Amino acid sequence: MIGGGQLARMTAEAATALGIGFRVLAASPGDPAALVVHDVHIGDHDDPEAVLAFAEGCDVVTFDHEHVPTPILEALVARGIAVRPGPRALAHAQDKLHMRAALTAINVPCPAWQQVQSAAEVELFAASHGWPVVLKTSRGGYDGRGVWVVRSVVEATGVMGTPLAGDSRWLAEQFVPFTRELSAQVARSPHGQAVAYPVVQTTQIDGICAEVVAPAVGLSEDLALSAQEIALRIARDLDVVGMLAVELFQTADGLVVNELAMRPHNSGHWSIEGAVTSQFENHLRAVLDLPLGDPSVRAPSVVMVNILGGSVGELYSAYRHVFARDAEIKVHLYGKEVRPGRKVGHVTVLGDDADALLARGRHAADYFSGAIDE
């Protein structure tokens, strides 16, 4: 797996259980996965030599993030190394303009969108679709970095004053007045088997995933099936292998796709304890072309709350209180240095009532971050 973040760290747990050799290319020895995986290469994902040396002897190469440049992936393929998802599929998760064009071509509902090169073009776009406009860099964004909601041409000018990195471009999108955000995850294998996880609701705070409830509360069966159908269709039509997350907006008029991730995703962390087969295990099974596991949820409701870095630099001391208060809660800490707002872990609780589970999950996450002390 290229990338040594928390997704690789949690995939390593699944690989350990399955007895599968698991090598990680991490940027530094302190990365979450590098701290726990014994077969670690240290190197940059955009250094061709480092990636080729890492991939030597691997049966399959997959990803913890989507930032590996396409020419490097093509070089791996040219050497006969299985890259899953493949470079062509992955391009849709790497570049939001590429993704919008491909989704539009296969009739997947998207917000109105357009490539823009100047604030004047944003103003023209707003003349048809209204303010605010959502401006995005087509490449390199994550956790809301690379996304701005602009309300005027002056604000657009301010945002676009920052030069774009590399071959990133500006994407303008209509601001979608969503009632909530959903995520539909599927796993798909090279020979075309696919399974769909229950559709979940996600809450983003400042662009960062904060909470997930599985399955989404009160979602009609029609909309749930339609979200799963969209995700399965995207996986098939874009030839995705591994886990695919489709982030969706639920609106009064139905579903609209926000974006795609072709790897395990924050909206699926609940599945470690909450599903018969976790997203990490199914990602491995899919990229190895093994039969996929049952994605069914194990309880009426499962809640995941992210632990964001706060004022407390040392997280271990919270265990005494959190575990004494709630014997059922499951905690995952990623081994990251605490910085304000950084994702450093998550908690999961299973039960019957989403509101009660959310209260328990939030309490634990707030206690870890230091936002509360009792």
Ligand X SMILES: Nc1ncnc2c1ncn2[C@@H]1O[C@H](COP(=O)(O)OP(=O)(O)OP(=O)(O)O)[C@@H](O)[C@H]1O
The least CB distance from residue 98 to ligand X, in Å, is: 14
Residues in 156-185 at the binding interface with ligand X, rule: CB under 6 A? 173, 175-176, 181
| CB atoms near residue 340 (< 10 Å) | 9
Q: What's phi and psi for 186, nearest 5 deg?
A: -135, 155
Cα–Cα distance measured from residue 200 to residue 136, given in angstroms and rounded to the nearest whole number: 24
The least CB distance from residue 256 to ligand X, in Å, is: 8
Q: Where are the beta strands (DSSP E) in the chain?
A: 23-26, 39-42, 60-61, 82-83, 113-116, 133-137, 147-150, 170-174, 180-188, 194-196, 200-205, 208-214, 242-251, 254-261, 301-308, 330-333, 343-351
Specify whether the CB–CB gap between 256 and 241 falls below 8 A: no
27 contact choice in Mg ion, ligand X, none (CB below 5 to 8 Å, kind-dependent): none
The least CB distance from residue 263 to Mg ion, in Å, is: 13
Tokens of 224: 């749930």
Cα–Cα distance measured from residue 99 to residue 110, given in angstroms and rounded to the nearest whole number: 10
Count residues near ligand X (CB under 6 A).
Answer: 19
107-146 mask for ligand X (x: CB under 6 A)? ----x----------------------x-x----xxxxxx
Span between the terminal Cα atoms of the chain, in Å:
39
β-strands 113-116, 39-42: how paired? unpaired
Nearer to Mg ion (CB atom), residue 173 or residue 247: 247
Cα–Cα distance measured from residue 236 to residue 367, given in angstroms and rounded to the nearest whole number: 42
144 contact choice in Mg ion, ligand X, none (CB below 5 to 8 Å, kind-dependent): ligand X
Interface pick for ligand X out of 31, 95, 259, 281 (rule CB under 6 A): 259
The least CB distance from residue 239 to ligand X, in Å, is: 21
Nearer to ligand X (CB atom), residue 332 or residue 343: 343
Residues in 265-304 at the binding interface with ligand X, rule: CB under 6 A? none
The least CB distance from residue 39 to Mg ion, in Å, is: 31
The footprint of Mg ion (CB under 5 A) covers: 247, 259
The footprint of ligand X (CB under 6 A) covers: 111, 134, 136, 141-147, 173, 175-176, 181, 204, 207, 247, 258-259
